[in-house]
Amino acid sequence: MRSLIIVLLILFNVFISCNKKEKLISEKIYVDEIGNKIELTKNPEKIISTAPNLTEIIFAIDAGNLLVGRTRFCNYPNEVNKVQVIGDMLNLNFEKIVELKPDLIFMTVEGNTKELYDKLKGLGFQVYVTNPRNLNDIITAIKNLGIILNRERKADSLVSSIKDNLTKIASKNFQRQRAMFVVSISPLIIAGKNTFINEIMEKVNLENISPKNSISSYPMISREEVLIKNPDVIIIPSSKYKSKEILRIYPEWKNLSAVKNRKIMFVDPDLFLRPGPRFIDAIKFLGQELSK
């Protein structure tokens, strides 16, 4: 009889413990990066990403197996090609999303629209919005997704690796040079000082020639101002153009220090324009090119 009572007590405690655990899971409430509350009744098992940088974070923290939907621009890593396409960043296939029945959808302020957010919320979906404006914000997004997707240990490991690499890069003595990061050739638009791209440049001691007081994160710059600022380095995220084509569009650039010293860099747009975990690879690439 005593043994039976002990067994019953153990089973009762296990039952109570399980109930408490289930209750904790059902009461998981998160606040996204723009202040919205998201309540989950279970750990997410099916998720959708509406931006390439978010997809890259999801795979980088080993949560790619949870991804059931992504945009057509989500092309990294290769495994993402197995995931169903649910449109692009500005146009989503809501019927497909409803069909996939995701537990959670990830969106971003830069790239997605409030209209898309409102539509998804109106359909009853849980939506988590990220807002990575700088490198610290990217690291925060990695941590937050790690917590929500039960990949906290992997996310912490990734963040630790990124910080170690930043420390190594900071120890290198890069020459101070003026630089221009061209986002658009025509019209001529460059990355401003309040962007994560500017921070990438600063990590290798590049001084952004963008106007200090510009309201826009990506301001237009005049041909005259480029000549006055005379950048030592010009970075163009494109595989479409070559130096000769650029000089046909802007023949006066032949007088720039960057052109004279062959310091026009054509870089991978996906590597430099996505506020995701590969920003560390973009910094390393610039450092290698500047060290040549």
Domain segments of the chain: what residues?
27-165, 172-290
Any idea what DSSP says for residue 289?
H
Angle at 89 between CA 125 and CA 45, to 5 degrees: 40
The correct answer on CATH 3.90.600.10 for the domain covering 27-165 is no
Tokens of residue 107, six digits: 């969106």
Q: pTM for the whole thing?
A: 0.89
The strand pairing partners of 105, in sequence order, are 48, 127
Coil vs helix vs strand at 28: strand
Per-residue pLDDT for the chain (292 aa), expressed as one digit of tens each? 555 444 444 444 544 444 444 444 446 899 999 999 999 999 999 999 999 999 999 999 999 999 999 999 999 999 999 999 999 999 999 999 999 999 999 999 988 999 999 999 999 999 999 999 999 999 999 999 999 999 999 999 999 999 999 999 999 999 999 999 999 999 999 999 999 999 999 999 999 999 888 889 999 999 999 999 999 999 999 988 888 999 999 999 999 999 999 999 999 999 999 999 999 999 999 999 999 8
Burial (Cβ within 10 Å: 0-12, 13-18, ≥19) of residue 20: exposed
Residue 32 makes CB contacts below 8 A (sequence gap 6+) with 38, 127, 128, 129, 130, 144
Alpha carbons 255 and 89: distance in angstroms, whole number? 39
Residue 270 makes CB contacts below 8 A (sequence gap 6+) with 52, 75, 76, 278
Q: How many residues would you count in the chain?
A: 292
238: part of which helix (H) or strand (E)?
none
- Per the CB < 8 A criterion, the answer to whether 119 and 50 are in contact is no
Same fold, 27-165 and 172-290: yes
Coil vs helix vs strand at 187: coil
Question: Structurally, what CATH architecture does the domain formed by 172-290 represent?
Answer: 3-Layer(aba) Sandwich (3.40)
